Amino acid sequence: MPKRSKSQRIGDLGEQRVFQIIDEHKSWVARTLNRDYGIDLEAEVAQPDGDSQNLLGKIIKLQIKSKKAVSIRNSRATMPVPRTLIEYAKEFKLPVILVFVCLESNRIWWVWLQEWAMLHEEQLAKHPDQETVTVSVPVDQQLETGLDEPLQKIARGETGSAMVLSLRDILSVSVGWENKEIADGVAALLTKIHGPSRTWMIEKTIDVLLGYGEDPPFWRAQQVLPGLLRVVDAVGYAFTQAQLVRLVARGETSSRTGLFALGRLYDRWPDHARSLRLPSLFLSVGSLTAAWYAEMRERFPMDARGSFASFIANMKDVDLRYQSIELVLTPETRDYIMTKWPNRGDSVLIDRLRLRTRTASKQKRARRKT
């Protein structure tokens, strides 16, 4: 005979209670879904009109997690949630609300999953393989009071987080940077609205660049460059070591587009760039050319209004060695730098780097002795 399991019964009871609370509220209409593929209920904001309700088209989706007893720790209700549910919720354009139902105490809590995911991006990134994530909310963030105003504002898109998420959607569309003016404007707004979006912007831009492959044609990678430089200008102080390795290092060599961004970082945020200890960082991951460039930028600080490559090309009798790599300023090298720089930026310096051999080192020491 068919059986109804204990967990199914608990889940059904929780869903029924949530449906009843929402549908009895004067400003909401609840709907069940015929098929449950991750979303249990849908709710729409309504305008009371006597004994009737005018539906407003402002909708939230609800995923319900029910337990006999929900854990309370430090005045917060906690619930283990599959990471796949959080990732699924992030793909929705409509708000997805996670609801905790405690059958024992008859208390029900809610949390807006997309906002929670945005505010916990660093935590989620640190544990990418974690299958279950613990979500917690203040014990006073209960569904019945949330329906009065907070959830209505979320459904209408009136909160600060709603604005951030909407802007991030626009930036995702324009992140190919063909729509440069839109992307620049959205990036500028995001830097002023919400701190977590700074990390998101940096990662999103790097992801687009890496999506072109390990060694894309420079013309292709340049499509990302205007937006990438705009991000560096706006939030360069927030770049991390890991992000710069992803952006610049390509094995023993370097990304040309990444070097543009690294140069901009040294131009606009020199103190932050130096604090990251980039020469030794790039050396530790085997990117000798990036390590050399970072060392030269720190060894020869200069005014951001000039070109570092031309600054180097015009130097006389200077030691441009770092570890096992060096730049020898011959007349032909100087001419190459000045000719190619307008299109290739500081990456022209990388083109002329060479590994120092023991023979060359011995010859230089001999010349010094004579």
Cα 345 → chain centroid: 26
Longest dimension (CA), the chain: 103
Lowest-confidence range among 131-140, 165-174, 340-349?
165-174
Give Cα separations from 124 to 94, 128, 130, 216, 245 (angstroms). 21, 6, 8, 30, 20
Q: What is the pLDDT, as a whole number, of residue 217?
A: 64
Q: What is the pLDDT, as a whole number, of residue 4?
A: 74
Q: Tell me which of 3.40.50.920, 3.30.420.40, 3.40.1350.10, 1.20.1270.10 is the CATH number of domain 6-158.
A: 3.40.1350.10
Compute the distance between CA of residue 346 and CA of residue 260 in angstroms, rounded to an integer.
Answer: 7
Q: Token match 């002795």: residue?
A: 369
Q: Which residues of 12-48 are buried (b: 16+ CB within 10 A; e: fewer)?
A: eebbebbbebbeebebbbbeeeeeeeebbbbbbbbee
Q: What is the pTM of this model?
A: 0.62
Yes or no: say if 260 and 228 are a contact pair by the CB < 8 Å rule.
yes
* Half-sphere exposure (Cβ direction) of 218: Cα atoms closer than 13 Å: 12
At 312-370, the pLDDT tens digits run: 988 887 889 999 999 999 999 999 999 988 888 888 998 899 887 654 444 444 444 44
Question: Does the pLDDT value for residue 267 go beyond 70?
Answer: yes
Q: Where in the chain is the domain with CATH 3.40.1350.10?
A: 6-158
